[in-house]
Structure formats: structure tokens, C-alpha cells
Structure 1
Amino acid sequence: MTLLNIDIQYLSETLEGLLKIPSPTGYTDEIVRHVSKKLEALGVFYEVTRRGAVRARISGRSRRPARAFVSHLDTLGAQVKALKENGRLELVPIGHWSARFAEGARTTVFSENGAYTGTILPLKASGHTYNEGIDNLPIGWNYVELRVDAYSKSTDDLHRLGIDVGDFVAIDPAPEFLENGFIVSRHLDNKAGVAVMLAALKAMTESDIEPNVDIFWLFTIAEETGHGAQSILTPDIASMVAIDNGTTAPGQNSDEFGVTIAMADQTGPFDFHLTRKMVQLCRENDIKFQKDVFRYYRSDAASAIEAGADVRTALITFGVDASHGYERIHMHALRSLAELATGYALSPVEIQRDAREFAGLTGFTHQPREDADQHLNPETEEPEPEPEPEAEPVDE
């Protein structure tokens, strides 16, 4: 198929707009509103759950077996654990991230009386005071505190500011969009994935090509705390592709360029057939790709499977350097992902049996066997017929 044109400027501006909106898990109302308005501008139908997950849909020729993409709107952050006698705040993290990356971060604290900026500092923050004690201080959330940018030298001062236990703390992203295509920021996980989905949606709405089946676009609000896509799927959805970050680091095969296709994460392998289709689409459309396995990673797809959803899952990623820290990605990967998403959305449905939740073996898939050279027909997922044997020569 011919790849749809991805509007790179729209993708970049969309990501920049998403990064400006604080959205630690549990504090996502405003980014939900923002994404909903983006969907309205594209003319895409959507609905919002009670808590704020967004489910958009592009109608296809058939309702089933529907396909879905999923990214999460929530990011890492922190909450106030305690008000300290010195007028500073003890914190606990939202999501799993190291206090190593919290030290020095600029923040916004959302209190009952309004928002206050601040800085996360180690307990020993002045070299002029502590000398080598700074370097000897352990790393951990018990060894940092939040200094609020307001008059605050005691617990009473904090109370007067309206700050209390449980208040949300957003970590400033400090984004940089470089001319060479690199993007450096916090929270690229997974606002970059959201921007990819919106850019792919824009390309599809402008193409006027009707997909074969309904395509759902899911935006979740609690992936960083493990909930993800547990409650947003519909029975019509047979396959779901998560778009999230891949970890570029020593010992990993991910890359900041092209698409990194995850073969497995800490919850186990992704669906054999759906993952193979992602690879096939990349090869057919000359999209740079590589495969990887993530040992300490889970995504929206994992939460759906653990919740009992009988849905095929795959994970396609943009390579991120220093994930859950000061992250870096490249626009090449984002464009490649958006292209792959449109390619999958418009591709034929091979496994027609997936339209039913239960059925017999007719149309059920095959996987290559060790004891046979079995070639599968990708159009039907059935074994290709064996070639007819050549006729024996006949003596005249």
C-alpha cells in the first residue's frame, strides 16, 4: 500500500502542546480536555469515561473484528507525603522513577489555594555548607525534599499557603526541539505516543480512505501506575497496538530512529501474529525497524491482558534514551510510527475468525512447527497447499 503523508509540523506542534499541560497520574483532567478538543478539530467521534479515559473511533466497513491503538496521557510525578518542620515538603513518587532524576527538577505544586512553583533538592544541597557530604548522601526519595517558591520556613507557613498532604506535584518537562530532529524533554513517555496517534488520525481523516473495520484510538490516564487499558476496551476490539517508548541502552536493540517492535516485555511475549504483521508492514513499506525485548517494562497492553481481555496485543515504540529521566527521542521515529499506524489501520484483515469471541477451529491460526516446513498464507493464515508432484516420465 502507499503510505499516508504524515504532517510533521502538526506532529511536532501537537507534542509541544501536550508537554505544556501537567498530567501526573491522578491529575489528568486538563490534558483529557485538550486531547478531546484535538479530536473535535479533526472531526473524529469520541467519548470519555467517568474518570477521563478517551475512546475515539473511525468507522470502517465492518464493526468486527475492530482494531485499536492505545497511548497514555498520564506521566510520572509526585505527591506530598509530609509537611516538614523546616517549611519544605517530603515527597513520594507517582509511577516508578528514581530520585536521581528528581534532584534539581523544577516543579509545580497544586494546592487548595492555587499553584506554587518549587525545586526538588537533596537534603544536603549546598557544597559551601556540607562539602563532601553532598557526594556521600544516598540516592532515594527519603533523601530529597521540595523547596516551595513562597515564604515557607515552618509547617504553619505551609498550612497558610494551603499546601497539604496528598497535593499533586508536576515535574516541569523543560522541552527542547532541536533543528536536527532530536527532542529532549521529560514526559516524552508517553506524550510522544499520543502525538503520534493524533498525527496518524489526521492523515487518515484527510485521506478519505475507509478502513475495512472500525479503528479505535484509546487514550488512557493511569498507565504509569499499572492500570492502563483495563476498562476502555469494547467486545468488538480483537487486536490492540500500544504505542509507547522503547528503551535505548546498552544491552537493548532499540533505536532512536525507525520503529522498535517489542517482541516481549516483563509480562511475556506479545501476540505472535499481530507482531509478525507489524514486521511485515515495515518490510513492505520500507519503514526502518528493529526488534527488542524489554525485561523491566510494561505497557497499556499488559494491563488489558492481566484484566482478562481476550485481545491480541502488540507494542510498537519510539526509541528513548534515558527513559523516565531526561529523555531524548528523534522525529524520525515518531514519523515512522505514524506511518506504520496508518498502514496497519488500512491493511486487510487476515484473521476473519477474530470477529467472533468464540468459534470452532475453522479459520483458527497456525504457527510454524518444528517438525515441518510449514509456510503460512498471510491472506488466510492457513497452510499453503503443497505443490503437485511432477509426473513420472512415461516410456514410449
Structure 2
Amino acid sequence: MPRLTIDTKYLTNQLKALLAIPSPTGYTDTIVRYVSRELERLGLTVELTRRGAIRALWQGSRRASARAIVSHVDTLGAQVKALKPNGRLELVPIGTWSARFAEGARVMLFSDKGTYRGTILPLKASGHTFNLDIDTAPIGWDHVELRVDALARDRHELMRLGIEIGDIVAIDPQPEFLDNGFIVSRHLDNKGGVAVMLAALEAMEREKTVTPVDIHWLFTIAEEVGVGAASILTPDIASMVAVDNGTSAPGQNSSEFGVTVAMADQTGPFDYHLTKKLVRLCQEEDIRYQKDIFRYYRSDSASAIEAGHDVRTALITFGVDASHGWERIHVHALRSLAELITAYVTSPVEIERDRNLHAGLKGFTRQPLAEAEQDLASDSDPAE
């Protein structure tokens, strides 16, 4: 079945709604409820793990050799490290991101007594006081502090407000959706991926799509701290495609247009056969694509493999400029990813051996050239 038509208005509306819900790692209950209700509205059966990762099942023609599509709902953020004598708060990051991009951010702090607005500032923030010293101040989380927009002149007044060590701080996304298709916001990693998955599902439901195997739609809650899909997979899942951001930056081949297929990240190459199939689908369905390798990057796929899951993994991405900072994407990439997902989930199963957890040599895959000098003519294994 060819790729389906994606409703880009639905896609961008979902992205706007997702961005409006704060969800730093460790504070994801609200966005889990939102995504779960939307999945149920689209007709899927939804279940949650103990901590809130989402499994939604699209029933296919058979259960064995099931496929999974995964993205994460959690984002970068911060946490209160200390209450300072001057009434400000020391912070530590949630996830890996630079304090360079934290400076000037408007935030929401969640305490047991309620929420507070605030701003992350460098320790020397007043130009009229520090003059050029502001420009030479070092960069790092030890050199910023959170100013809470409440009466908090010292540590005791912070305590009176109910603010404590460990409180979660969500960074405002401040999104802009431009008429030319560009989208600028924090946290496009990976609310863009979640919106892409929902848009693909909306198209499948609208077209009453039939898939050859069950499709598991997975949404993890701790990818930014390395947990990701470590504990969400079931044994019947044979292959998993992660949807996340690529890195449009000097030295990279990612693009803000089309699909960027990741060939490897810092944990090593992705599955040869699954990646080749995704590239072939892009070619057959006339979906713009490019390939890239990420050196300082890990995804839900990496966490699944490291946890010991015997599953084929791949990573398809939308190119993000200034990832983990002031991020920018284009709706063309989001739409292209959703199109590729619809083409993949409806495509025939080519490696029938994958329905078994363990099997013999018969039906095992073959990579070109690796066995060229061996006489395996009687073996009709698939190449992809």
C-alpha cells in the first residue's frame, strides 16, 4: 500500500497542543494523559506501564513479527539543587543541554504548594552594575540561577513559598509557527516526533488501513536521561523504528526538509536490513530523504538494545537546527516522516524468520559481498 496523505493541519495542531504541556523528564503525567486520550480517540487500545510509558496497539493481520514505532514525550528541563541565601535557586539540568541556552529562559517551577513563574539568569545579570563583566562571565550551570517571580529575598522566604530542593523546573517552549512552514521552539525534540506519530495514525484511521502485522505505538517518558525504550518492548516485537530529531549542523548531512535516515549513532550502526528497507521505501514512494551519522546522540533504539532486547532497530529523524537549544524545524520534514511511517507499517514482512525468537540458519538474512565466495545458492534468504 502506498504512503498515505497526511493532514498537516492536524499534525501542526497536535504539535501546538503538545508544546503547551510542560513535560520535563520526571514530570510527564499530564502529557501522558493527553497522548493516551488522543490515541483512544483514534481507536487504539492503550495501556500504561507503572511509571507511565504508553503502549498503544493497532491490530494487524497477525501478532507474530510485530512492528513498533516509538518516540518520547519527555523533554529537557531543570531541577532545584539548592536554595541560595540571596533568594535565588541553584539548578541542575534534566537531560544534557548547555546553560548557554538556559540563560534568559522563562520557566515554570512546580512545588508542593503550587507553581511559580521565573527566569534563569546569569549570576551577573545587571548591565548597569557589572558593565562589561557580563560579557566575560563563564558559561555553565554553576554560573546561572533561577529568579522566582515571588517575594523571595532570602532562603527563608523561599522555604515559606514551599520551594524545596528537587522541585522540577519546566522551560517555556515559546513556539512560533511561521507561514513559510518553519517552526521555531524549544522541545521540538521530541514533541515533533510525537506529533508525527499521531498524524500517521490519523491518516491510517481515516483510510481504514490494514497492516500485515500488529503495530505497537510506543511513547516513552525518560529518553532524555537515557532510559528510553529499555523496558517497554514485548517479545512479539521484531523491529522498532524510533522517530526523533536529526542534527542540521555543520559537518552533518541532516536537513530540515524530507526524512533524515540515521545510519548510526554513538552506540553503533542501526540494523542493516531495517534501515535499507526504510531507504527503499523512500525511493519507491518518492519521499525526499538523506542519510546521516550522529556522533553525540542516542535514542530510544539505543536504550532498547542496551537493555538486551533482541529487536531490529532504526532511527528516522526530522532535521533540527540548534538541537537542544533554540530549535527550528520545517513542516515538510514532519510530513515526510509521517508519510514514511504509513508506508512502512503497511509494507509486507520480508524476513519471515523474525516471527521466531530463535531459529536455525534457514531464512537467515544475507548481506551483499560478505558471503560472496561461499556456495549458498540453495539458500533463498531475503537481502532486506
Whether the TM-score (by the shorter chain) exceeds 0.5 is yes
Q: TM-score, normalised by structure 2?
A: 0.97
1:314 matches 2:314: yes
Instruction: For 1:136, give the aligned amino acid.
Output: T
Give per-residue Cα distances to partners, 1:59-100, cap 9 Å, x unaligned.
111101000000000000000000000000000000000000
Q: Which residue of 2 aligns with 1:161?
A: 161
Give the ranges of 4+ consecutive aligned residues of structure 1 lying more than 6 Å apart after TM superposition.
none
Q: Percent identity?
A: 71
User: What do the CA deviations read for 1:286-333 (whole angstroms, capped 9, x no partner)?
Assistant: 000000000000000000000000000000000000000000000000
Q: Could you tell me which amino acid in structure 1 is paired with residue 66 of structure 2?
A: A
Given that 1:67 and 1:216 are in contact with CA atoms closer than 8 Å, whether structure 2 keeps it comes out as yes
Aligned to 1:390: none
Q: By how many angstroms is 1:372 displaced?
A: 3.4
Structure 2 Cα separation of the partners of residues 234 and 325 of structure 1: 34
Answer yes or no: is 1:36 the counterpart of 2:29: no
The 2-side partners of 1:96 and 1:382 are apart by 40
Instruction: State the distance in 2 between where 1:63 and 1:154 align.
Output: 60
How far apart in 2 are the matches of 1:97 and 1:50?
Answer: 28
The C-alpha deviation readout for 1:88-114, integer Å capped at 9, x for no partner, is 000000000000000000000001110
Per the TM alignment, residue 140 of structure 1 is displaced from its structure 2 partner at its CA by 0.1
- 1:199 is the counterpart of 2:175: no
Post-superposition offset of 1:205: 1.3
Match of 2:27 in 1: 27
Q: How far apart, CA to CA, are the structure 2 residues paired with 1:68 and 1:21?
A: 25
The equivalent residue for 1:128 is: 128
Q: Measure, in 2, the Cα distance between the counterparts of 1:383 and 1:323.
A: 35
Determine the structure 2 residue equivalent to 1:394.
none
Residues 32 and 52, structure 2, Cα contact 8 Å, conserved in 1: yes
The aligned counterpart of 1:208 is 208
Tell me the SS of whatever aligns to 2:194: helix
Tell me by how many angstroms 1:136 deviates.
Answer: 1.2
1:350–1:381: 8 Å Cα contact kept in structure 2?
Answer: no
Offset of 1:381 from its aligned partner?
A: 4.0
The 5 A counterparts of 1:233-312 are 233-312=233-312
**Contact 1:193/1:244 (<8 A) preserved:** yes
Q: Deviations over 1:361-385 (max 9, x none)?
A: 01000001157399x99xx74479x
Per the alignment, do residues 370 and 350 of structure 1 end up closer, same or farther by CA in structure 2, a change over 3 Å counting? closer
Q: What's the RMSD between the two structures over aligned residues?
A: 1.6
Q: Which runs of 5+ in 1 are unaligned?
A: 385-396
Q: 1:89 corresponds to which residue?
A: 89
Q: Which residue of 1 aligns with 2:13?
A: 13
Higher radius of gyration, 1 or 2:
1
Relative to the length of structure 1, the TM-score reads 0.94
Deviation at 1:5, TM superposition (A): 1.2
User: 2:344 & 2:37 partners in 1: Cα distance?
Assistant: 25
Measure, in 2, the Cα distance between the counterparts of 1:357 and 1:165.
Answer: 46
What CA distance in whole angstroms lies between the structure 1 residues aligned with 2:360 and 2:381? 15
What is the aligned length?
381
Whether the 8 Å CA contact 2:103–2:120 is kept in 1: the answer is yes
- Per the TM alignment, residue 127 of structure 1 is displaced from its structure 2 partner at its CA by 1.1
Give me the whole-angstrom Cα distance separating, in 1, the residues matched to 2:250 and 2:345: 33
Q: Residues of 1 paired with 2:317 and 2:43: CA distance?
A: 27
Q: 2: CA distance between counterparts of 1:383 and 1:292?
A: 22
CA distance in 2, matches of 1:126, 1:373: 72
CA contact (8 A) 1:174 1:186 kept: yes
1:74 maps to: 74
Q: Distance in 1 between matches of 2:211 and 2:370?
A: 36
Structure 1 residue identity aligned to 2:255: D
Between the aligned partners of 1:370 and 1:301, the Cα distance in structure 2 is: 25
Counterpart Cα distance in 2 of 1:163 and 1:207:
50
